[in-house]
Structures are given as structure tokens and as C-alpha cells.
Structure 1
Amino acid sequence: MSTAIIEGGSPLLGTVQVSGTRNSALKLMAAAMFSNDDVILQNVPKIDAVEDDIQMIRALGGKADWAGAGRLILNGSGITSYEIPLDLGSKYRTSLLMAPPLLFRFGKASVPKYKTGLTVPRPVNRILEVWKTLGVTIDEDENYYFISSANAISGHVNFKIPSHMSTDALIMTAAFLPGETEINNASEECEIDDLIELMNAMGGAVVRSEPRVIKVNGVNVFKGASLEVQPDKTEAVIFSIAALITKGNVVIKNINRNVMVPLVNFLTKVGARYEFEQNSIKIWRHDEELQATNLTIAPTPGFVPDWQSSATLLLTQCSGTSYIHDTVYTDRFGYVKDLNRMGAKIELLKPSEAGIISVVSDDTYDTERLGEPYTVAKTVGPVKLKGEKLNITDFRYGAVHVLAALIAEGRSEIEGTDVLDCYIENFTSKLKNLGAKIWDQRE
């Protein structure tokens, strides 16, 4: 367990380089296991989640070796087992993405169930249902899913709700099934386009014919290829908002401008100052007042859920009353109680209480039994935050605790910051290089 001591009040100044995104890297590593030739990935973040996947690939007999900073060489020719070890495969939901190349090679795969420490676990039911649509059979016991493609066929799949990882799983499974599979209402996440590009470079036939329609024609041979993992859009958002709330001046390099449009629209509404130059964005703030605004959380191309907590924190520093409505998840405001302990004025409401029409995209939420969810955060600002002792229990909004501590009066003690190492490369080191006062204590 790692604890960070953070003294607030220092503006962030300087330049930071955004790392490659794990949301691409992990799926691309799995996809590389289709090939018996080397697949080379560049700009891969060296984070715990990637290192764990490397160990999983090696345990199956595959090759996964670092060859310099951010450069990973992968090869599936040595895979001899279709059973992912329990201790490695149960750490992340993305272990399920290793199933398609194992189905391609063996016609079956044994994948550990996701053993999460999250208060509300992220469901895998959509992925399993998608596989069943194509005739994939799934049995299970306490620890494993036993997956078989013996009777799998191509076909048409219509998602009721766009799902990022389910779209990944479907593309990778349809990639080797004879005939054409059409995916309707597919996720528009930019990381999926990385997967499409790699599958095609390896000899696959995948086309995004419309923003939410993907067509896959199955092939039976996959060759070597290379691809550069795109920048982490969520990391770029975190540092953008960190610059604003600390009244800093930061140049954020290695960004994908196209996927930053929802953030830029939001920053414009609050009155933030920024400018683009090629693949970088400069964000700064002195003493100018930021303005409250309303924000809807929605799937791509909207303002995505992974950015929600950082946006809420920024709105605590804006003048006036803001409303954030999460139309994707019902359980993503778990950090609010900690921000309120620090002095924030955030109230969770039902949409109807805020005069908003309720939208529940989470198909695991039983509205009839549980009633209207509290998916609106009413935020009043600006407020001064004070240092507190906090505990990161959920990686999905762990970074917001660190950002809040950066602007709090006095010192904060944050337990569990090692969780962030799984998902953001050198996060605290990058903050320190920008002038943040952070001291790490590891138990």
C-alpha cells in the first residue's frame, strides 16, 4: 500500500508528455496473439496493468518482450495453453479479450472471472451475451468461464446500448469466423479504431462503415504488423484540469486533438484559456474567475464517464451552480463524499429533482426495484478545499483525490495511490515535475 503526502497551493508549471493509453494497449496486446509473426507496438505505457498482461501472455506460452522505452514485441506462435492462470487473469476484465485468439487457436478458452475490489464491480454480462449471439457457448464455475467456439457463426449483432469492451470482443471474435458479421450501434471510442487498424494490418478485414456500424469479414491467417498506441485522452484531461484548478500554466504534449473536442467545448463554457499547437495544448489560468456550467456525461462522441470526476472537481472552483448528469453509469459519484469532507458543496440528486429527464443506460440497474438513481451532481462554487486524510478505493476516480489535494489548504494524506500506477504511467512523478509537492510513503 502506497500513501502520498500532498501539500496544496502550488501552481503546476511546465510541460508534460501524455503516455499511450492502456485502453488501446491491453486490447492490442491480446489481438497480437492471433499472429505467429512478431507484432510491434510503440508508445505502450509501462504500467502495472500492461506488466500483468505480459505475464499472462508468457504463462500461455506467447512472447511479450520490451525492446526499449514504450516498444513491445509480441508473438503468439508459442502459445500452448488455452487456460489463463487464475492469479493473473482475475485481476482485470480485459482478460476476457484474450479469449478470441485462444478460440482461434484451440476452439476453446478458460478465462478467470474478474475478482474486483471495487465497491460496485463493472459487469461483464454484455460481453458474454454478445458471444452467445454468435453461437459461442459459455459455461462457468466459481472461478472460470469456459468458452467454446465450436458452433460459432458470423451474423448481425445489434447493441441495445453501445459498449466499448463488448465491441472489442465482438470484432476479435468475428475476425476469424467465416462470412461477414455486422455490428450495429457499436461503440465509437477512438481506441476501438486502434484495434481495427491493427487487425487489418495483420490481415484482417474490418471496416467502420458508419460511426456506429462495423463490418467484419473473417479470415484464417494473421501476419505480423506494427502500430503506435494512441495517447491517453483521460490523462490529457486530468492534466488539463489540474492546470486550471491550480492556476498554473502547462503545455500538454502528445495529444489526439480530434478526441479532445468534448473537453474543449466544456473548457470554453467555463471560460478557460487554452491554445493548440500541432499535437499539444497549452492551458493556463491566473486569477480570472471561471463560470459554472451544466454538463451531460455520455458515450463517445460525448463527454465520457472517465472524465466525469475531474470535471466535477473543476466545477467546485467555478462561480455559480452547475449540474452534471451522468447518463451512462449510476455509480460513478463515489468520490463526492470525500470532496465534501474537504469543503466542496456537492449534492447528489435524482434527475427529476433537478428538472432533468432521467436516462439510465446501465442495463444492470433495476429502475423498477431501486427507483430513480442519483445520477445528477449539483455543485456550488467556488469553494476552498482543506487538506484531509483520504483513501482511494476505486481506481476509476482515484486521480480526483490527488487533484483535490493539490488545491487544498494544508496537507492531505492519501492512501492507495499505488492503484493509480496500474492505469496512469508515472502519474505522481509527472505532477512533481510540474511543481506539485508530493511525498510518497510505501508500506
Structure 2
Amino acid sequence: MRSLILALVFASTAVAAQDEPTRTLITNVNVFDGVSDRLIEGASVMIEDNLISAVSIDPIDAEGAMVIDGGGRTMTPGFIDAHVHLTLQVNYAELAALDEYYFAFTQADQAEKMLLRGFTTARDAGGNVYSLMRAINEGLVNGPRLYVSGGTIGQSGGHGDYRLPNDPPRLIATQAPWAVRQGHSAVIDGPDQALSAAREQLRKGSTQLKLFTGGGVASPTDPLDVVEMTPEEVRAVVQAAENWNTYVMSHVYNTRGIRLAVENGVKSIEHANFIDEETLDIVIENDAWLSVQALVFVNTPAGMSPEVQDRFKQALAGLDSMFSLAKEKGFKKLAFGTDVIGDPALLARQNEEFSLRTRWFEPAEILRQATSGNAELMALSGPRNPYPEKLGVIEEGAYADLILIDGNPLEDIDVLVDYDENFDLIMKDGVIYKNTLN
């Protein structure tokens, strides 16, 4: 009996110990909190389990905590990329020849590399990454928190229709194209098919939906000036998302397609390179976001046809006007994204997006775009948000997604480009994934 009682006592003590929060105290850091344009100098940050419990310039009780001396480094929130494609990081020529197993291996590889570049959260803007999100959340693989759009929704002959020229028309085809079969896209014609496609992505676990209302730079069939989908088709997708208490994002460059999207309820416009002031006013009136990129247009992919290269030049030409207009209008709902597809080498340069934006914005503005700003955009997914605590900020109650940087990005944002050299500690969800301090 005595041995049984002792066993029960030891068991209850072990359970109690497991229930106690894991504490990590990081001292002697200068904190960019995700909002302010000044650092909180000489601060300490306490992490309990996966959340920040205190940020203070006064001493914090370190009892029971692992203590890390930040050595005067800059601490920032983990970065958020609002437009990535983890599925499609293979050569364009191979896309149609690969099965879902190979895509899964490349996804996992790219996810870990993205995390080690300091991106602790990413919104995947199209592709079948549902299992990747689950695997990351369960700790099976390393990677950023993912907001998943799932299969992109577009019309026949539009952006996202990956059929080859010799593929049969949809009306007589006996099998869906490879991208549809593997869940990377959904090709629709008519509001009924749009509604069905939207519901399918929500059924699989999408946190938001992605559609196309204009042509694309790398599309085989649709020029940049065309408008895609009808108002009825767009409204069907938006209605499905709203019924699930989330939102829709739309790929589009031209003004007509932007207006089609926002006037029918789309809340996030991807790219928008050709936007004009009148159309931006409509975006503002409809309380929508512009999710924009520089890196992908500054670096035209090699091996593309002359037609595609010309489209990249058109998009690049519109970049300065779009960014300048947003700056002039004081437009704050401007997301930070990269949108690299089919070019792992370029994706490895993801952090160059920070430097490229200095042509239009101050470092503090860019850092806010990549942290608290993007976090506000992620939160539009409402109840579908798998990460309900605060993201993109360093404050009490926020997720412990942190980077310790050798240098001050508010003075020299270029320190973020050489992430391998300058990022000395990367933490996501209270777990340290890189630490070169000790």
C-alpha cells in the first residue's frame, strides 16, 4: 500500500511539473515592438510556453527561467510574408510532370528554409499545402505558421488554368488537368461552379480563398489587360467565404479587374501594379488591402518566352507608380509579400524585399508592413484563423515569434538581407530554431 501511495505522489508531482509553463527570459535587447518607429532600449522579454508574458526595461524575475543574454542586439517580431507559394517551388517546365509526393517534399524543404530566414508566418496564396500546415502545427516538420488559400479559383483560359495547348476543352475532357487533380487550382465557368469550388476549398480547411480577376505575368493564355470572371462569379466566391466568416483575395494587375474584385466584396488585392488614384480611392472606400511585391518583378525569371518577359517588364514599369501613389495617399493597408514561383534560388533571396522597398518607404514603415500590418491582414480570417493570439508584435499576450538581429534595421534595413550572418536567434511559438549566441 505504501509503495502504491508513493507511486501516486510521484505521478502527481510529475504531472504538476509538466503543467508548469516553460519560461525563457531574454535580457539586454533593444526591441522593435512591431508598431513604434523607435526601439525600446535595454529591455528584457519573458516568454512563458509559447506566449510573451512581459516586456520591460526593469528587471524581470528570472526564477525557473532559461536566461539568454541578447548582448544589445535588436529584437523584432518574426516576419510575415503575405504572399508565398510553397507548393510551386520547382522548375516551370516540370510542374505538370510531378506528383503530389514530390511537391510535398519540396514544400517541407522550402518551409524550413523560410523559417530560418526569419519568416515565422506566411500566407500561402495558392496551392495544396493543407497537409503541410498540419504537419508544421503538429511539429512533424519545421516551418512558418501558414494561412492556406488552397486551390486558386479562376476561369477557363485564365490565370490558374494550367492546361497545355493540346489539352481538350473542359466540355469534352474526361479528366481534370493535373493542377486541379492535385488541388492546386480550380477552373470554373459560371457562378454555380464558382460557389462549388469555393466550398470545396473551405471544406479542406482554407483560412481564406484566392481567385483571379485579371491576367498574369507568367500565364500561358491571358494578357495583363484582360478582366477575368464575372461579377456573379466573384460574388459567389465572396458569399461562400463570408458564410464561413472569412474573406477573399484576388490576383489582378489592372484597374478594371481591381474594381470588379473590391466592388463585389474582395478584401485583399494581390499585385495591383497598374492601379490609379481613382481605383485606389475605391479600394479605400471598400476597406480593402493591397498585397504588393517588388522582388519578383525586379527579377524576371530566366528561360521565359519573350511574351512573358515583356509582361514582367510591364509589371515592373507599374511598380513605382503603385508604390508612390500608396505613399502619397498615406495608404496604410499595404501588405508585405514576395510571390516567388518556380524559382527556389530567388526565393532564397526573400529578404531582399526589405531593401527594395526603401525606394518608397522608411525602414520603420517597411518593418511594420512585415509585422503588425500583415498580422492585421491575417486576422481577417476571423474564426478560421488557426492562430488566434496576437501576431506581429512584441507585447504581453502575443505569440513568442522573435528574431535577435546583429544590427539595427531601423537605421540600416539591409542587415535583414544577410539573414544567415545577422540573425543570431530565431524563435517561433516559444521554440528556438536557431541560436548562435552560446
Bigger CA radius of gyration: 2
**When the two structures are superposed, what TM-score results if normalisation uses the length of structure 2?**
0.27
**When the two structures are superposed, what TM-score results if normalisation uses the length of structure 1?**
0.27
Which of 1 and 2 has higher RCO (CA within 8 Å, sep 6+)? 1
